Amino acid sequence: MPDVWPGFATTEGSARTGEFIRVVDYDPTWPQDYERWRRLIELALAGRFTRIEHVGSTSVPGLAAKPVIDVQVSVDQLVTEDDYVPALEGVGLQLRSRDDFHRYFRPFPDRPRDVHVHVCASGSQWEREHLLFRDYLRANSEARLAYAHAKREAAAIWADDRIAYTDAKSTVILTLLDAAEQWRAHCCAG
């Protein structure tokens, strides 16, 4: 992972075992699940964020996904972890890893994995690309189908290996992200 994410390191005591990746059809209750988590995070952080967004596949109506809500929290200073780590731990989220671009949280190992929280710097490339990718998938049915196909294929082969699952989707993600950049330049220029 350090080759993909500069500065990558996991936190001690955050390992989980025995969880398999499942990609399921879109669930119309996912926006409500996101809203529940957004409210908890917003209250916990008490204004120490610039935006909270529903990202990832569960944020795209009609897209198959792992049944895990992805929340992106943007902050002014990513390195000032005391501003957000204790607050997120207070709502049951454990810091799993950090890298130069973001911090990744998920529920503590004794709790169900129903949410992933990604904390990034406001105005960063991380923030921009995740929002762009989400918006492009929302707007383009062919992109949604291509991404769903890649995810289902990856899960069929790598259900027991989250890193390999993610890596197996990377070519499709990068291709779609390039298309999203072109789409943004065309649709939103000016």
Which position has the higher pLDDT, 96 or 7? Answer: 96
Question: Considering the entire predicted model, what is its pTM?
Answer: 0.92
Domains of the chain: 19-185 (3.30.460.10)
Q: Write the pLDDT tens digit of every residue in 46-89.
A: 999 999 999 999 999 999 999 999 999 999 999 999 999 999 99
Percent of the chain past pLDDT 70, that is, above it, reads 93
Q: How many other C-beta atoms lie within 10 A of the C-beta of residue 81?
A: 15
Predicted pLDDT at 4: 62
Quick check: 2 pLDDT over 60? Answer: no
SS3 77: coil
Q: What is the mean pLDDT of the chain?
A: 92
Given this model, what pLDDT does residue 13 score? 73
**How many angstroms separate the CA atoms of 154 and 87, rounded?**
34
Rg, the chain, Cα only: 16
Q: How far apart are CA 186 and CA 32, in angstroms?
A: 32
Q: What is the pLDDT of residues 131-173, one digit of tens each?
A: 999 999 999 999 999 999 999 999 999 998 888 898 899 999 9
Question: Which pLDDT tens digit goes with each residue over 111-130?
Answer: 999 999 999 999 999 999 99
